[in-house]
Structure 1
Amino acid sequence: MVVSNLVFYNINLDLRDASRVFPERPRFADSSPMPLFRNARFETSIAKPSGLPSPSGPEIAFAGRSNAGKSSAINTLAGHVRLAYVSKTPGRTQLLNFFRLNCGALMVDLPGYGYAAVPEKVRKQWQGLIESYLKHRESLIGLVLIMDSRHPLTPLDRQMIDWFAPSGRPIHILLTKSDKLTRGPATATLQAVKRELAPLGEKVTVQLFSSLKKTGVEETETVVARWLAAEAGEENATLE
């Protein structure tokens, strides 16, 4: 497999580009663009597909196996210890939670998947909610997929990738809890996941992330900002 087929963004991006899709929302300051996710604020929660709000900005979904560190990653990106609910009991997040970013985009926290102790009826309800959102939401521009770096690419993770990748929208994988690994094993895990996903091409990107040490935040912001800038470009082209 050819690892070079993947693109891993490390450059700084002017986040002002991302705000052009929805000019009525606050723009990033011209002098010093603020971190993309900083000061995210809760907007709404929904329990059923029928409750989805009307699109009001590009949306970035965050998904992952229960207990993979999704809520902690969201809180770290936002610089807010309690923005997303963190529970010691996996499977507690049961809603789609929408958070507004300063650029006008929305971050959408999906229920965690794969927790066996959740009743079958509830699990099916979550599955229907997640599938309906990911499959039919036109304002969704990309998926940030959270995986525990010690146990990446579980069967359910692979299922999610296989299901979402054909949409043509990008997937960015955060290998969380990388602080639990020493540098050698962490790097080896990153390279192994890159090799495994290389056939999917540049639409799938991967990085290490640690909520504890707050490493990987800038790389995540850069990738998502590129998605938003690309969306802004498409929107401007349509308007012209």
Structure 2
Amino acid sequence: MSNDAKPDDELAGTEQPFVSHLIELRDRLVRASIAVAVAFGVLAFFPGPSALYDMLAAPLVAQLPAGSTLIATNVISPFLVPLKITLMAAFLIALPVVLYQVWAFVAPGLYSHEKRLVLPLVFSSTLLFFVGVAFSYFFVFGQVFKFIQSFAPKSITAAPDIEAYLSFVMSMFIAFGAAFEVPVVVVLLVRMGLVTVEKLREFRGYFIVLAFVIAAVITPPDVVSQLALAIPMCILYELGVFAAGYFNRYSKAPDEAAG
């Protein structure tokens, strides 16, 4: 009889911790959503969705022939596209809060030496993503559009669609933001024991080739954008290899460090 009750005894009391974790997860998601909503509300009033779109389109408009503008082929695009851009900007502004909520949810399950690693990685990954987005907007866009327009025949009047432009911008932001996370990925791979710093140094030549292949696949088919993505990836790889050695020592458990 006691053997029959044993499985129930092992599961006894597990429902409450599971429910409490779900409640905490819900609260964290609500707080993150509120941060995005607040940022969206502020941006909706100042500078406003239309002004945000004009700012986003500025690198392309600057390279268009005089008198050319972007067009909307969908009836509701002039309304929806600026709202989507405002939501995207709100999420980027609220990203530190969102990542903090993720950190606060997983932190109780981490050891103290692991917590010393997570906070710097959360901060650095956020910063690197912003740097990648800013790099693509302030440098890459202008050079790419200038390069493309230099090949356009004079008989063609460029009038890009605003939805197509938004899709292009989103893909470029994600590509450069993710590419700039290379140091974080390298540090995590070393800390998890999947690879050593020495192996990463030996892999340097292969990574250079891989970086140019990735750049050729995810960027437009022009030399400027491919070089603008591949070269920073190679530099950031070296930065990641350097940082991996430091973080690996800094985040070791006391028994690992003693060994």
Task: Say which structure is richer in strand.
Answer: 1
TM-score of the superposed pair, with normalisation by structure 1: 0.24
- The higher relative CO (CA closer than 8 Å, separation ≥ 6) is in 1
- TM-score, length of structure 2 as denominator length: 0.22
Q: Which has the higher helix share?
A: 2
Larger Rg: 2
